[in-house]
Amino acid sequence: MMSAIRACGRGVAKVWAWVDALRRGLFNLLMLGLILVLIVALVRSGPEPLADKTALVLNLQGALVEQASGSLRSQALAQARGESPQAQTRLRDVLAALDAAARDPQISHVLLQLDQFGGAGMAGLHEVAAAIERFKKDSGGKKVLAYGDEFNQRAYFLAARADEVYLHPMGGVLIDGFGRYRNYYKDALDRVGIDANVIRVGKFKNFGEPFFANAPSPATLESESYLYGDLWTRYTASVEAARKLEKGAIARAIDELPQRMQAVKGDTAQLALKEKLVDALKTRDEMRALLIERGAKDEKSKSFRQIDLLAYLAHVKPKWDDKAAAIGVVVAEGEIVDGQAGPGKVGGDSTAQLIRQAREDDKIKALVLRVNSPGGSAFASEIVRRELEITRAAGKPVVVSMGDVAASGGYWISMAADQVLADPSTITGSIGVFGMLPTADKLMGKLSVHTGGYTTTWLTGGFDPRRPLDERLRSTVQSAVQFIYDDFTGRAAKARKKTVEQIDEVAQGRVWTGSQALDRGLVDKLGSLGDALQAAATLAKIEGEPRIAYVEREPGKLDRLLKSMDAVLAPTLVEWVRAAMPLQLPAAVQQAQHELASLTELSAGRKPYAALVHCLCTAP
């Protein structure tokens, strides 16, 4: 018996020794790989020079964002692997590349390749479209070409700006309009025994509506028809002008789509060509031959001479003197949450710290807050707004530039500015407040689980979701929500130099486009991020071209090291490894997951004063 145990022990020891040796071997290989990468980074101090007649390929990957979410470490490692795990392209990078390419003698033309483009709101699309037009104007005649296997509505908005648009013979152009369908959960929640208990101020404040109704309210339909109608009118007019189509051509084509499809025997590519949405149909090899003819052949790849966006950014040099007076830019993108938050969300404390950092920097003479947020915590929104107010009081002008969405809490943080600029299609407003106190006492009953105990006051167990909502707590929360709404509208009235009654008339949680908001006095001007930067320079009385300084979280040492390797890693490793597409759930299922998760999250840590200023809206 003992000999068997000893033999078993020796076997385990051998296996463990083998596992330990394998672990050490893998670790040594990993370290060797890192050392090799560092050697390459040290030897290659910068990107290889560009050859003449190089095409800049704007291969926009994923969603267009103001600020990439995730740490610099994860971003740099993803770039090293040739991946884009979060599928994002920064707007500022696209604008910088186009502006630099217009002046770059080695760049002969631009190719828009948008098959992997995840889309953007209309404000972001307007920024890129304007940059394309600037490129054509400032480059002295360089052409912009667009090619796609297919074009969706967002991608085509950019492709329409090209001098020539080409489509694969088996492709198509899908322009389907604006709008959305929501899931409504009242019957489902009733069936499982959950009450959402939504408490709100503002008849248009519809964030919680899917949890207490089975269909959109008349107020919601009124608001959204007005909003989406304006966005659609602007979209079609812009595309028709860019493609020199008759006014109303897109709407007529959609209305007559079945007949027009029959006329081309179901060939969507021929339909796009017939409707003059594209200039010609070309297979990939035919497009490659055209680009070689327009530019030059790369003997190594046997394709046309080219450089993509990521690699070209390593060639883009700052055009400002480091000693020049600067305009600080703080990005407020994503949901607004209490405390600290990384890129992709607006932390009340962390964003306030960035604003404070800009205020205390003597080289920064003015501040631009770039807002792309549907809101969130009212408390965190006020922390950010107050920091901007202090910045103005310190003598530094503050200008707000609204991106795709600056609604509810996104509008709250915009109220302490000298000027507020919005894109005509920015979704803004939504001045309203709500609270949500989900309870599951009926669900507990269906599970035959009972709750009981002793408390010294009725409030002690008031937030326990296992118990029905006490009407006294409902009244308390209603008072708190009403107070926040009154505070919101009061601050907006003061900021916009209007009466509370005037603000209340356009508030009530209703969303507007930027153009509609201008008509109602909720913003000062319509304009781009560039217009906001110019306004800040004028207010600060900066002579000459100011330096633009993005004020962001300082990366750690490893983050900085990895980021510094971009110019080396991007042109090499990106060619070696491509990430496989992950399996994704259908969009409708993801939407339900997100919305039901919101219901769960709002049930944790509830307090009577924890009001939310959030707009259930996304960039169309």
What pLDDT, in 10s, does the model give residues 160-203? 999 999 999 999 999 999 998 888 988 988 898 988 888 888 88
Domain 54-179+221-313 sits in CATH at: 3.90.226.10
**Coil, helix or strand at residue 141:** coil
401 part of the active site: no
Q: What's the pLDDT at 565?
A: 45
Integer Rg of the chain from CA: 28
529: pLDDT strictly greater than 70: yes
Angle at Cα 134 formed by Cα 133 and Cα 137, nearest 5°?
A: 90
In 3D space, the residue among 514, 94, 525 whose CA is nearest the CA of residue 313 turns out to be: 94
Amino acid symbol at 596: L
Q: What's the pLDDT at 214?
A: 92
The pair phi, psi for residue 308, each rounded to 5°, is -90, 175
In 3D space, the residue among 441, 435, 425 whose CA is nearest the CA of residue 526 turns out to be: 425
What pLDDT, in 10s, does the model give residues 79-135? 544 444 567 899 999 999 999 999 999 999 999 999 999 989 999 999 999 999 999
Asked if residues 83 and 579 have their Cβ atoms less than 8 Å apart, the reply is yes
Q: What's the pLDDT at 372?
A: 96
Asked if residues 402 and 421 have their Cβ atoms less than 8 Å apart, the reply is yes
19: pLDDT strictly greater than 70: no
Structure-model confidence comparison of residues 134 and 568, the more confident one: 134
205 part of the active site: yes
Structure-model confidence comparison of residues 204 and 407, the more confident one: 407
Structure-model confidence comparison of residues 78 and 441, the more confident one: 441
Q: What's the pLDDT at 592?
A: 62
Asked if residues 145 and 109 have their Cβ atoms less than 8 Å apart, the reply is yes
Give, in order, the Cα–Cα distances in Å from 549 to each of 63, 260, 322: 23, 51, 10
**Could you give the residue range(s) of every CATH 3.90.226.10 domain in the chain?**
54-179+221-313, 326-555+600-614
SS (H, E, C) 3-36: HHHHHHHHHHHHHHHHHHHHHHHHHHHHHHHHHH
Catalytic residue among 84, 139, 373, 408, which? 408
Least confident of 23-37, 43-57, 456-470: 23-37
Catalytic residue among 205, 365, 396, 498, which? 205
| Fold of domain 326-555+600-614 | 2-enoyl-CoA Hydratase; Chain A, domain 1 (3.90.226)
Least confident of 15-19, 172-176, 186-190, 349-353: 15-19
Spatial separation of the C-alpha atoms in residues 64 and 62, rounded to whole Å: 7
What pLDDT, in 10s, does the model give residues 362-408? 999 999 999 999 999 999 999 999 999 999 999 999 999 999 999 99
